[in-house]
Each structure stands twice: as structure tokens, then as C-alpha cells.
Amino acid sequence: MATRKKSKDTEAGANLFALLPHEGKAEAVLRERAGFWALPREVASEARRELYVHFRLGEAGQFGIPYRQVEEILPAGNLAKVPCTPEFIAGVVNQRGNFLTVIDLKHFFQTAEATYPETASVIVIKGGSITAGIIADEIHGNAEYDPDALGAPLAAGNISNQQYVLGTHDGTVTLLDADALLSDPGLMVNKAGQRQTQPYISKEE
């Protein structure tokens, strides 16, 4: 009886051993994960850093959008105003044959006078199934941020609705959340500038 039990234990142990990765890609993945969690906190934080597009609104407003929510950057020179739209709709631009709605964040946030210099650009962002552009006074380039080290959204800029804000980087740059921004019910308007059930900004089917 004892011999049979020992045999079963040995067989079970062998089966468990067979499930463990010993070579190839699976073992490499386990080694990588083990290495990450063995990193000092400072090094692990560096590994989680993300890039964002840094841009200016107004004279001194510093903002950013995470790279994962940015599709491309277009010149604002071919921006065309569309009649009978709200003030926060800056117009549309031609994106490879498709008309892309561009949002004027200065009007939407009510933070500055809605005029733009020659350095203005359109940042194409995507939130969920919605794609739109936002117009920026100037693109400063890109920078990195640590998602775990962002300042509190309540301390970010003059934006009335803090749900648009991921947080602040280095106490000066307000990082925006494209998912929250593009899902705002305030972007749903009809030709008379009144709310409707379908968004004015484009949505993928």
C-alpha cells in the first residue's frame, strides 16, 4: 500500500515538474519577470516610464498627451472652419482624404483667448473608438513621465473638469486623458450647437 502511494506521489511530482518551463521562450519570460521584480524601486520605476507629447496652450499653459493616445501630428495651416458648430470646434482638417474634427481646447477649457500663432499644430488623438484633433499653439517635443509619480489632478491648471486630467508632471505640465476628453457628453452637438445623441467628432464603426 505504501509503495503504491509513493508511486502516485512520484508520478504527481513528475507531472508538476513537466508543467514548469525549462528552456526556450517560456523560461526567458520567467527570467525577465524575476529580474524586473528584483530591481531596486528606482530602477523599476524607470522601467515603467511612458512618453508624452508636450505642447503649449496660451502664453504659459503646458500640457501633455500620452504617446499611446496620439496617432500623429498635422500642420494646422489647412484647418477649415465649419459653419453652425460650437465655438470649441476649431474646424476640420484633411487627414489623407478623411475630414477630421479639431477641438479648440482653449474654448473647451475656457482657459485662454482662442487665437493661434503660425506655429500651431493639430495633434490627432484617439480615445476608445473616437478619433479627433486638438489644436496646440506649439509642440515642444516629447518627454517621459512616471505614471506612479504624477501630481494630483486637483492641482492641475485651470481646467474645470478634472476628470480630463491624468495628473501633473514635475508640477508644471498637465497630462490630459484623451479617453475621458473624447467621451465627454459636451462634445455631442447638432448643427444648431445643441446637444444630440451622436457625437460631432468622428467615431469608428
pLDDT at 137: 92
pLDDT at 128: 82
Q: What is the CATH number of domain 50-203?
A: 2.40.50.180
Q: pTM value?
A: 0.68
Which residues in the chain show pLDDT less than 50? 5, 13-14, 16-21, 30, 36-37, 44, 155-156, 189-199, 205
pLDDT at 112: 60
Rounded distance, CA 161 to CA 41, Å? 33
The answer to whether the beta carbons of residues 138 and 119 sit under 8 Å apart is yes
Instruction: Count Cβ atoms below 10 Å from residue 139 Cβ, excluding itself.
Output: 15
- Domain residue extents for the chain: 2-38, 50-203
pLDDT tens string 62-93: 999 999 999 999 999 888 988 888 888 899 99
Of 112, 121, 108, 131, give the one whose Cα is nearest residue 178: 131
Distance of CA 111 to the CA centre of its chain: 21
